[in-house]
Chains A and B, each alone.
Chain A
Amino acid sequence: MGCYPSKRTKETPGYEEPTVLAAETPFTVSEVEALYELFKKLSRSVIDDGLIHKEELQLALSRNKNRRNLFADRIFDLFDVKRNGVIEFGEFVRSLGVFHPNAPVEDKIHFTFRLYDLRQTGFIEREELKEMVVALLHESDLLLSDDVVETIVDKTFCDADLKGDGKIDPEEWMEFVSKNPSLIKNMTLPYLMDITLAFPSFVLSTEVED
């Protein structure tokens, strides 16, 4: 490679060195390099520019880039840390780090809180909870009467809002998830433990030892 920047650095905006990302996340250097293969695949699915656009994440998560999905939108918003409308490689790896089986549970709980705090007020409000339930029902083509939805939302909100002030704060959320650990089941991706097996092509070209 000599004194020239690597091809990846030149070609991919926002590319960050795997050694740097590995030092900040639960991933090894090899795993970060494998994630780069996944990132490349996702980032060229609609617009081939080395960045993940909202439609590309939407396509990967819901198989339909045109059907808006509230939750895929929220995932995109949290991954897009710089808030510039695209997910860069570093943002992708750092965000996925939270989903690693070895990532701290507190990080997973914090991530879900931010995910469900739709309007970023620092609280999960009843209205937001209802909006998410309605979105989920719509996505799943499930029909429940408004009365039933209200009952589900009321009961859940009552259980989580320990202080009874009409909103769920981060402390209450932590307590609620501790009592209902299944709520963060989707925050752990076993795939991330063997990502190098899923995307082995980099192994032949890696130059850095873990």
Chain B
Amino acid sequence: MAPVTMNAFELISTSQGLNLSSLFEK
């Protein structure tokens, strides 16, 4: 992992809170 080259928004978009596909999991 090379954190200093990460795009901060890309990191944020991996949040479980933004993963709405989990609404459809049974």
Contacts and interface: CB of A to CB of B under 8 A. Distances in A.
Contacts of A71: 12, 15-18
Given A62-B16, A183-B13, A189-B24, A148 B4 contact: yes
Given A61-B16, A71-B18, A153 B8 contact: yes
Interface string A27-62: 000000000001000100000000000000000111
Given A116-B9, A183-B10, A152 B3 contact: yes
A61 B17 contact: yes
Given A38-B23, A61-B17, A189-B20, A155 B11 contact: no
B24 A38 contact: yes
A139 B8 CA distance: 15
Given A148-B3, A156-B9, A136 B15 contact: yes
Interface residues of B, number: 22
Contacts of A159: 7
A151 interface: yes
Given A38-B23, A38-B24, A42-B23, A186 B8 contact: no
Contacts of A160: 9
A133 B8 contact: yes
Contacts of B5: 155
Nearest to A57: B23
A152 B16 CA distance: 20
A207 to B, nearest CB: 25
A75 B13 CA distance: 12
Contact of A61 (B7, B14, B23): B23
A180 interface: yes
Given A116-B9, A157-B8, 11 more contacts: A63-B22, A71-B12, A71-B16, A72-B16, A96-B20, A129-B9, A152-B4, A176-B9, A182-B10, A183-B13, A186-B20
